[in-house]
Amino acid sequence: MRKINLFPLLLFLLIIMPLTSAEDITFSINQTEYYFLTGQEAVIPLTINNTFDKDIAGQISYSIIQTVNQGGQSYSSTRSNVQSFSVQKGNNTLGMNFGSSNTPVTYTVSIEFSYDEQDDDYVVSLDGIKIFFVSNESQQNNQENPQQSNSEKIIDATQQNNQEQQQPQTPQEQLQNNQMNQDSQSLKEQMQQQIQQQQAEKKEFEQSVKENNEVQEMQEELQNQGYNLTEEQFNNENNNTGDFNFSYQNDEGETANIEGRMENGEITELQKQTAEDRQQMMDTLNQSQQFQDFQEQLNSEGFNQTNISFNQNGNDTTVEIEYKNDKNETAMIQAEFEDEELKEVRLEKQEDLPWYFLLLAIIIPISIISLYLYRKYILKKQVDTSKQKPIISKPFDYRNEAYRLLNDAKKNYKQGLYKDAYGKAGQSLRLFLSHYHGVKEEMTNVEMIRYLKKLKKPHDHIKQCLDLCSLVEFAKYAENESDFSKIIQVTSEVISQ
C-alpha cells in the first residue's frame, strides 16, 4: 500500500487556521422563556464569547415590556436602560438581574451591545426573551431552548452607497448626509451625557434616603424584630425628590416593608408594615360583628376564602379578602383601617343577572341579525342600481398623515406637552417608514430598526431619533429644544425623500 505524507497538509492547516478565525463577539442564552416564582430574583445567565485578543468597550442596552393581566384586561408598560459596558476577552458568563415581582407578571426583554472596532460599528442583539413570574411551582415550565447572536456590522449610508456601486452623490446630497451623520453623533453624545446625569442623580437620591434619620430609625426597628433587608427600590424624579421602598423578610418567611416619599430632600411620607401589623388588623377585623355576619353569609352560600391582600396608602390600609364558590362566582370583603382603627367593612358580591338582562341578551342579537338580513336582501332590491355611483376608496396617503403627526408634534411642543410631542414625532417617523417600505402596519422601534438592517438601509440617525423619542415619552430623558429641533429636521428630511 502506498503511504501518504500528511505533514505538508497539516502544516498548511496550521498556517491558515489563525488567518481564517474571525474576531467576533457572541451572546447566547440557554432558554428563551424563564419562569420564576413571585418574590424570587429573576437572574438570567448570559454567556458572552469574545474572540478578540483584548477587552471590547461599548454600550449595553435593554428594553423591558411589562405585561400584567388583571380582571381579563391586559396592561403594558415599557422601560429601557443604557450604560457603558466592557466585554472581557475569552468566554464569560454574566448574571443579568431583572429584579423580582410580588405579583404574577410577564417581561419581554431585548438586549443589545454596540461597539466600534477599526472605525466600523457593530451590534450584538438578543430579542424576544420572556420572563414569567408565577404564583406556584406547577406553573413553571423551564425548557432548554438555546438562542445565540453574533456581531453584525452596521452599514452606514456612505458604505451602503459604495457597496451598491451607486452613482456619485451630488454636493447637495453629500452635504445632507454629512449633516445627518453629525446630528446623529451629537444626539448620541447628548443621550450619553443625560444618562450619566440620571445615574448620578439616582445615586445621590439613594444616599439621601439611606442617610435620613427617620428612615434609619424605622429600619433599625425592623432589624431588631428579626427582619433582614431583601430588596431596595428607588424611583427618583431628580437628585432629591422621588419614591422609595424597602422590602424585608424574617427567618419564618414573614415579610415587612418600608415605603415613603422624599421631596426636595425632606421626607413627606413614611410608613412601615410588618407581619405583626397585619395580624393585629386581622385580629381587630375578626372581632367585628359586621365582618362575622358577612363571613357567615358567604359560608352559608358555599363561598370559600381564596386570597387576602393588604394595600397601604399613607396611614390608610385596605384589607381585601377574596372568596369563590363552586360556580366560580366571586365575592370580596373589604375593610378600611386608619392607623390601627377599623373604619368600615363592606361586602361586594357578584350578583346573578336579572331576568330582563337575560331577555335582552336574546332579543338584541336577533334584532341585529334581522336588520342585517333586511338591508341585505330586501332593501337592496328597492334601490335603483342604474342611479348608483361607484364608490372609489382613496388610497391611504401615508406621507400626508406623517406630516400631520409631525405638525401636531410641533404644536404639542409649543404648548409644553413634551411627552406628546416626542411621542407623535416618533409615530410620524415609524408610520412613514413602515408604509414607504411596503409594510402596511406601523412597526415598533425595535422592529423598524431590525427591518432597515435587513434591507441594508441607513438607520443610525433614525435609531437615535426613535430612541430619544421613547426616552422622553417614558420620562427617562429630559427634553430640550436642541434635541427636538434635530428630530423634526431628520423626520422632515426622511418624509420628503
If asked whether residues 122 and 52 sit together in one domain, one would say yes
User: Of 36-50, 297-311, 468-482, which range is least confident?
Assistant: 468-482
Q: Which three cell numbers stand for residue 470?
A: 421613547
Burial class (CB in 10 A: 0-12, 13-18, 19+), 374: exposed
pLDDT band at 259 (very low <50, low <70, confident <90, very high): confident
- The answer to whether the beta carbons of residues 181 and 462 sit under 8 Å apart is no
If asked whether residues 27 and 149 sit together in one domain, one would say yes
- The answer to whether the beta carbons of residues 61 and 81 sit under 8 Å apart is yes
If asked whether residues 223 and 112 sit together in one domain, one would say no
Helix (H), strand (E) at residue 173 = helix 171-210
Whether 188 maps to a domain, the answer reads no
Whether 470 maps to a domain, the answer reads yes
pLDDT given at position 273? 83
Whether 96 maps to a domain, the answer reads yes
Domain extent, residue 136, equals 22-154
pLDDT given at position 34? 94
If asked whether residues 147 and 248 sit together in one domain, one would say no
Number of domains, the chain: 4
Q: How many CB atoms lie within 10 A of CB 112?
A: 20
Whether 261 maps to a domain, the answer reads yes
If asked whether residues 29 and 148 sit together in one domain, one would say yes
pLDDT given at position 209? 93
pLDDT band at 17 (very low <50, low <70, confident <90, very high): very low
If asked whether residues 227 and 316 sit together in one domain, one would say no
- Decide if pLDDT at 183 tops 60: no
Whether 239 maps to a domain, the answer reads yes
- Decide if pLDDT at 268 tops 70: yes
- Decide if pLDDT at 385 tops 80: no
* pTM given for the model: 0.37
If asked whether residues 324 and 404 sit together in one domain, one would say no
- Decide if pLDDT at 27 tops 90: yes
Whether 359 maps to a domain, the answer reads no
Q: For residue 393, report the phi and psi dihedrals to the nearest 5 degrees.
A: -85, 130
pLDDT given at position 50? 92
Share of the chain above pLDDT 90, in %: 14
Handedness of CA 458, 461, 465, 468 (dihedral sign): positive
- Decide if pLDDT at 291 tops 70: yes
pLDDT given at position 263? 92
Whether 174 maps to a domain, the answer reads no
Across the range 187-209, mean pLDDT stands at 79
If asked whether residues 85 and 138 sit together in one domain, one would say yes
If asked whether residues 253 and 302 sit together in one domain, one would say no
If asked whether residues 257 and 150 sit together in one domain, one would say no
CA-closest candidate to residue 122, choices 355, 346, 357, 453 = 453
If asked whether residues 427 and 411 sit together in one domain, one would say yes
pLDDT given at position 19? 41
Across the range 385-389, mean pLDDT stands at 48
